[in-house]
Amino acid sequence: MTGKMTVDGKIIGTLSTYTTGYAAYGKRKEILQHSSPDEYVEKLDERLTRIKILDHQISNLDSVENSLEEKYEVELTINDGTNKNQFYFSPFFIHTISKNPFNLNERTYPVDLGAASDERITINVLLPEKYLLLEKPKDMAIALPNAGGKYLLQTALDDNTISMNQILQFNNAIYQPEEYLFLKEFYSKIIQNQKTECLLKKTN
């Protein structure tokens, strides 16, 4: 996602998503459940109450050998813009992880995720003025045992552009019961980190 933050607390930009493999299969299926891709986007727009979709383009819906491409021109409301000198901003507005899918204390059966997966999110937002990044979510690099998966997070402010890079990878389709608590803790760490935010302060 690449965008610009406006002085009244909005981000206007382009969100591009490329999906392949099983993830693309699932998404194609979801889009095709609507009578047209336009209707899918309309529903999506209605559901995402904080995001307005101004324009969209979905390609390769039918050519399964290529990656499914979605491009959305979006407008997000971050705050009402009343506090321009210093404000909090959460960079986790795409695919936020707020619930732990693994909430049991004991596990008897394996966890079947269906397929290995890899999700990468890159966000670049150009700020309207010069800001200092006073606080930010901790940069993270955590992994599951036996190279089962990893989560990487990096945020930075460079030349008025705030950037966030995130990788969430699961290398196995199936995890054994004894790996369950690792998965739970893995998600817990991500959730805790995603609750924290960036604090930006205007410089003169």
Partner 1 sequence: MRLLFTILALFLVSIASFAQDNYDVDLIPSNLRNRANACIRNEETTVDMRSPDNVLLNVKKAITVFNRNGEAQARLVIFYDKNISIKSIKGEVYNSVGKLTHKFSQNDFADMSAADGFSLFVDSRVKHYLPSVTEYPYTLVYNYEIRNKQNLIIPDWTPKPADDVSVEKSTYTFICKPTDDIRIKTQNYTGKPEVITDEKQRKSVWKVNNILAVKPEPYSPARDTYFTNIQIAPKAFYYYNHKGIYTDWKELGKWIYDDLLVARKALPASTIEMIKDLVKNEKTDKDKARKIYQYLQDKTRYISVQIGIGGFQPVAASEVDRLGYGDCKALVIYMQSLLQAVNITSYYCVVSAGSEKKSMDPSYASMDQGNHIILCMPLDGDTTWLECTSQKIPFGYLSDFTDDRLVLACTADGGKLLRTPKLTTDENLQIRKAELTLKADGSIAGKMHTAYTGSQYENQERLIDKPITEQHKLLKETYNIDNIDFETVSFVQKKDIKPKLVEDITISIRNYAPVNGNKMFLQLNAFNVKRSVPEVKKRTLPVYINRGYTDEDTIVYTLPDNVDSELITGQNKTFKNAFGEYTCKASVEGNKLTYYRKFILNDGTFPAERYAEFSKFINDVNAADYLKLAISLKK
Q: At what angle do helices 37-47 and 21-32 cross, to 10 degrees?
A: 90
Alpha-carbon distance values, 179 to 42, 114, 146, 152, 170 (Å): 40, 16, 10, 20, 13
Which residue among 137, 144, 155, 162 contacts partner 1 (CB under 8 A)?
A: 137
Residue 22 in the binding site for partner 1 (CB under 8 A): no
Residue 150: strand pairing partners? 143, 169
Stretch that binds partner 1, among 68-76, 109-117, 124-132, 189-197 (CB under 8 A): 189-197
Quick one: which of 34, 71, 107, 202 contacts partner 1 (CB under 8 A)?
Answer: 34
* Residue nearer to partner 1 on the CB measure, 54 or 147: 54
- DSSP symbols for 167-182: EEEE--SEE-GGGHHH
- Confirm or reject binding of residue 173 to partner 1 (CB under 8 A): no
- Residue 104, interface with partner 1 (CB under 8 A)? yes
Contact (Cβ atoms closer than 8 angstroms) between residue 157 and residue 35: no
Interaction site with partner 1 (CB under 8 A):
32-35, 39, 42-43, 45-47, 49-50, 88, 99-100, 103-105, 135, 137-138, 187-188, 191-193, 195-197, 199
